[in-house]
Structure formats: structure tokens, C-alpha cells
């Protein structure tokens, strides 16, 4: 008997709710990690390498995220859950469009419902704006923790931005991950 999480994953893998399904996606990138993790990361959408492998954050941005997970939180990606706002690669790595975000939102919302993370870290503007229901940019949102469901949401920059931006964005991401670690500790959760 499949679990609710496995059923949701199966539904997402055959999704044709928006035009991304027919615009050259190789496969749906549902998410990866521990579906019972107290810490969840939500990015924007898959890039070319993610589309090829069917896994989130496996390109250069993913390597940086893995490094930061180990250095700031003392964990590997199998101890957290990683998902995206949209589950299919937008052509040419363009930004996801509002109708595509709306079509994928039920999958992300259900993932969050089933995982029930205590801390959600959003990576970049699209995830932060969607989950906080705001139009404010991530550079203004980051550096704080927001009440979110039964826990908190901590916006941070997208790893791709840190790769392009150098030392300051990278330091800001590190500080935000320390904030996530503190939020978990306040709830009596130690990841390592």
C-alpha cells in the first residue's frame, strides 16, 4: 500500500497541468531527501542538469548547497528535504511564469503538509514570495524568520546568486543557515 507521499509523487510525475509538461521537460523533478525531515528547502525550479537527472539542486548550485549544508548545519542532503516551486524545467532556465507556479503550487503545498517541517528555508525570490504571499524581494526578506504553519520560514538567497555574487551573498546565505540551525535548536531539534 503506497503512502500518501508516494501517491503524491506518482501524481506529480505524470502531471500535465501546465505548458511546462510539453515544453521539453525530460522528467518531473519532484524532490529528494527525508520526507520526515524537520528542515525543508524550497527552490525555484529545475535547471538543465536537474531535468536530466530528475533530482533537485544537482548542478553547480547544488554543489554549493551541499557544501553549506555540511559546513553550517553538519548534515548531508539526505537528512533534509529539498523541493522546488515548479517541478518541471522552464525552457532556457527562464523564470517560472505565474500560471506555471499556480499549477504546481498544490504539489508543493501537499509536500509541506505531509513532511510537516519545523523550519522551511526558501532559496531565492520565487519560493519566498510564494510561501510568504508577498511581492517583497528576497534581499529585503532575508535575515529574518517568519512564522509559517507550525514552525518558521527563513528566506535566503538562491545558491546561483551566491555563485555569481561572490563573498557578500555567500556570507548572507551562511548567516541564514545558522539562523535555521538556531530555529531548529529552539524547537529541541539537532540535525547531526
Go through the domains of the chain in sequence order and give each one's CATH number. Answer: 4-186 (3.40.470.10)
Instruction: Quote the pLDDT of residue 74.
Output: 96
Please give the Cα distance from 93 to 28 (Å, whole number): 15
Q: How many CB atoms lie within 10 A of CB 86?
A: 27
CA dihedral 35, 40, 44, 48 (to 10 degrees): -50
The model carries a pTM of: 0.97
* Cβ–Cβ < 8 Å for 132, 146: yes
pLDDT in tens, the chain (192 residues): 779 999 999 999 999 999 998 887 899 999 999 999 999 999 999 999 999 999 999 999 999 999 999 999 999 999 999 999 999 999 988 999 999 999 999 999 999 999 999 999 999 999 999 999 999 999 999 999 999 999 999 999 999 999 999 899 999 999 999 999 999 999 999 887
Q: Are 46 and 56 in contact (CB under 8 A)?
A: yes
Angle, helix 98-115 to helix 125-132, in steps of 10 degrees = 70
CA distances from 29 to 1, 104, 152, 176 (A): 23, 11, 25, 25
The strand pair at 119-123 and 39-43 is best described as parallel
Looking at residue 191, what is its pLDDT? Answer: 84
How many degrees, rounded to 5, is the angle at CA 126 between CA 175 and CA 183? 35
At residue 24, the pLDDT reads 79
Amino acid at each position: 500500500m503506497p503512502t500518501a507521499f508516494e501517491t503524491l509523487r506518482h501524481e506529480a510525475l505524470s502531471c500535465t497541468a501546465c505548458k511546462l509538461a510539453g515544453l521539453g521537460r525530460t522528467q518531473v523533478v519532484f524532490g529528494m531527501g527525508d520526507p520526515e525531515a524537520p528542515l525543508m528547502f524550497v527552490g525555484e525550479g529545475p535547471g538543465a542538469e536537474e531535468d536530466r537527472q530528475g533530482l533537485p539542486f544537482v548542478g553547480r548550485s547544488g554543489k554549493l548547497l551541499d557544501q553549506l549544508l555540511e559546513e553550517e548545519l553538519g548534515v548531508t542532503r539526505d537528512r533534509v528535504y529539498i523541493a522546488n516551486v515548479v517541478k518541471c524545467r522552464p525552457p532556457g532556465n527562464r523564470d517560472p511564469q505565474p500560471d506555471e507556479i499556480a499549477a504546481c503550487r498544490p504539489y508543493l503545498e501537499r509536500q509541506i503538509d505531509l513532511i510537516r517541517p519545523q523550519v522551511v528555508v526558501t532559496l531565492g525570490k520565487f519560493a519566498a514570495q510564494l510561501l510568504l504571499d508577498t511581492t517583497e524581494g528576497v534581499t529585503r526578506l532575508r535575515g529574518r524568520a517568519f512564522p509559517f504553519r507550525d514552525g518558521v520560514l527563513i528566506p535566503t538567497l538562491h545558491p546561483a546568486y551566491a555563485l555569481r555574487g561572490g563573498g557578500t551573498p555567500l556570507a548572507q546565505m551562511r548567516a541564514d543557515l545558522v539562523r535555521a540551525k538556531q530555529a531548529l535548536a529552539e524547537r529541541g531539534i539537532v540535525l547531526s
